Amino acid sequence: MRIAVAGFMHESNTFNPMAADRAAFEAQSLNFGPAVVDEWRDAHHEMGGFIEGVEQHGAELLPIVMAWATPSGPVRQDVFEEIVGHLIAKLQELRPDGLLLALHGAMVCDAYPDGDGEVLARLRAALPSPPGGRGVGGEGAALGPDFPIVLTLDLHGNLSQRLIDLSTAAIAYRTCPHVDQRARGLEAASLLVRTLRGEIRPRQALAKPPVIVNIMAHDTSLPPLCTILEEARRLEQEPGILSVSVLPGFAYADVPQMGPSIIVITDDTVRAATVRERENARGATPLPHGRGSDTAHRLGQMLWDMRDELVRPLPGPKEAVAQAISSSKRPVVLVDTGDNVGGGSAGDGTILLSELLEQDARDSVVCLYAPNEAIQCLMAGIGGRVRLSVGGKVDKLHGEPVELRGTVRRVTDGSYIETSPRHGGRRLNHMGITALVELPGRNWLVLNSERHPPFSLGQLTSMGIQPEKQRILVVKAAIAYKAAYQPIAGTIIEVDTPGLTAVNPRRFEYRNIRRLYPLHPASECASGV
């Protein structure tokens, strides 16, 4: 077997005007050919799982492309065309037997609200089956409607029916924070190999319950989400069910497919076998052809029924900072939900920084996207005194710039390695030129030249900060930070801050979504379960 592996991943916040251009991908990961293996083989990411899985099954590995950029506004049309065009050209050239493809599920392109579905549509349109149904590469791969494409998807994907119809099988992460990505890559590889060997014949069903799952309810280890995930794992033990994925979705995308998804993959070979058994033995019961759809919609109904448990009222900035200062359980992790970098926000919000300074906090750490100020610190040098205007530059949704004076204590290139499973699965991390500035009261600022989500403690330890010894740590996140920060946190305080990733969906003006609870009355939504 000859198996191609590729990835094109972006979580697109349509309320963010900062588009993801080629430079955004180059700053994080834009690899072609063998370079994909060099960077991703050892990563706790599905691409690492793809590579390991293909090799475990004795197949020939054909790496094509891996493109990943920090969440932001939609992907620019030119980079979309370049990456998809390269993927298609290499598939036409190599003619593999199958493709393992890592997509996010919430990618939006300038011209395509369903960016991930568009990728699949382009692949199917560009890979017609050759005469006789066989190709010319190796044993002769048949590219076209029957060409096997197995997808991995982020748990925050907003899935379209088109994406499901055009893929052979699609599985999503099971954890948030995402620490099972490599395992899902291995699972996808197994599904593809078993399909190619004729051992299984996947059939997919999709359900889209009409509810917005508040981002603060996305922790898969806690109720209510853990309840439906436990049921999904139980169902996977039943004969004929290959995989069940539950995706709570991504609320920061104003697109028709926004919202949660349930994918159930059944095995058509089981149904065929039971039909033959019924023909040969009176009383045998075949697997119903609609079983996958029935199961998906039953799980969707479960999610709909728990809709009122998905509300997460949080304290405001002033109250939260006061709680943090008075807390004896340290370090206190203050979660700046409105400026969640991993959700496509600006990363330079100053709401909590301003409040910390106003309330005379001590021993706090705040990370900001501040490329100009990081360069200013580089020019000042270690020990240099600087006067900075930080934050509030990308937009005016996350606070005004803060004027302050401090001392430069460290400047690095912002690169570090994360060896443990963390949300996002990245091993090699890049923050760009990064400066550490000491403020009065032993407060610290980490100034990044690239927007960088707090998925790893390496963001701090690479700058010489010992996070467990601080009083207050501010993370611009929602759930993803927990894999790194929860083990060292004395207590966690989630804060209702304004911004592009605010927890209350009523802060946003949606124009393209269907009717979803709680934005619309339940009576207007229930018929869509």
The predicted-structure confidence for 3-28, as pLDDT tens digits, reads as follows 999 999 999 999 998 999 999 999 99
| Residues β-bridged to residue 231 | none
Average confidence (pLDDT) over 61-66: 98
> What DSSP designation does 130 have?
P
User: With the CA atoms of 335, 339, 344 and 347 taken in that order, what torsion angle do they form, in degrees rounded to the nearest 10?
Assistant: -110
Strands 60-68 vs 29-32: parallel, antiparallel or unpaired: antiparallel
Say if residue 431 is exposed, middle or buried (CB neighbours under 10 Å; 0-12, 13-18, 19+): buried
| Alpha carbon separation from 383 to 223, 386, 408, 410, 437 (Å, rounded) | 48, 9, 5, 8, 9
pLDDT recorded at residue 528: 53
Is the pLDDT at 275 greater than 90? The verdict is no
For the cut 80, the answer to whether the pLDDT of residue 455 exceeds it is yes
Predicted confidence band of residue 269 (pLDDT cuts 50, 70, 90)? confident
pLDDT digits (tens, 9 = 90+) for 156-166: 999 999 999 99
CATH of domain 1-199: 3.40.50.280
**Residue given tokens 């390269």 in the structure block:** 86
Q: Is the pLDDT of residue 96 over 90?
A: yes
Left (φ > 0), alpha (ψ -120 to 50) or beta: where does 524 sit?
alpha
Give dist(CA 455, CA 421) in Å, integer. Answer: 10
Q: Residue range 182-196: average pLDDT?
A: 98
Q: Find the largest Cα–Cα distance for the chain.
A: 87
Quote the pLDDT of residue 529. Answer: 55
Give percent above pLDDT 70 in the chain: 93
Question: What ranges in 197-306 are assigned the alpha helix state H?
Answer: 225-235, 268-280, 291-305
Average pLDDT, the chain: 93
Position 274: which residue type?
A: T
Q: Which of 101, 104, 100 is nearest to 72 (CA)?
A: 104
For residues 329 and 128, the model is more confident at 329
Which pLDDT value is given to residue 145?
Answer: 78
**225: Cβ contacts below 8 Å, ≥ 6 apart:** 176, 213, 217, 218, 219, 246, 248
Report the range of poorest mean pLDDT among 61-65, 178-182, 270-274.
270-274
Q: Give CA–CA dist 7/104, Å, rounded.
A: 9
pLDDT of the residue at 68: 97
Question: Among residues 377, 375, 373, which one has the least CA distance to residue 389?
Answer: 373
For residues 492 and 486, give the distance between their C-alpha atoms in angstroms, rounded to a whole number. Answer: 8
Average pLDDT over residues 254-283: 77
Whole-angstrom distance, CA of residue 275 vs CA of residue 70: 49
Q: Is the pLDDT of residue 273 over 80?
A: no
pLDDT score of 396: 81
139 exposure class (CB count in 10 Å sphere: 0-12, 13-18, 19+): exposed
Query: What residues does each domain of the chain span?
Result: 1-199, 202-312+504-529, 317-502
The CA-atom distances, in angstroms, between 242 and each of 52, 290, 445 are 21, 15, 48
Q: What is the pLDDT of residue 138?
A: 42
Residue 430 dihedral angles phi and psi, to the nearest 5°: -135, 120
Residue range 389-418, pLDDT digits in tens: 999 998 888 999 999 999 999 999 999 999
Mean pLDDT value across residues 485-493: 98
Neighbours of 109 (CB within 10 A): 23
Rounded to 5 degrees, what angle do the CA atoms 444, 445, 450 make? 150
Quick one: CA dihedral 97, 100, 106, 108, positive or negative?
negative
What tens digit of pLDDT does each residue of 109-139 get?
989 999 999 999 999 998 865 544 443 334 4
Q: What is the edge-to-edge ordering of all strands in the sheet holding 241-247?
A: 202-207, 261-267, 241-247
- Do the beta carbons of residue 487 and residue 467 sit within 8 Å? no
pTM for the model: 0.89
Q: State how far the alpha carbon of 410 is from the alpha carbons of 348, 378, 451, 466, 523, in Å.
A: 20, 9, 19, 14, 57
Q: Which residues contact 138 (CB under 8 A, 6 or more apart)?
A: 2, 60, 95, 96, 97
Q: What is the CA radius of gyration of the chain?
A: 24
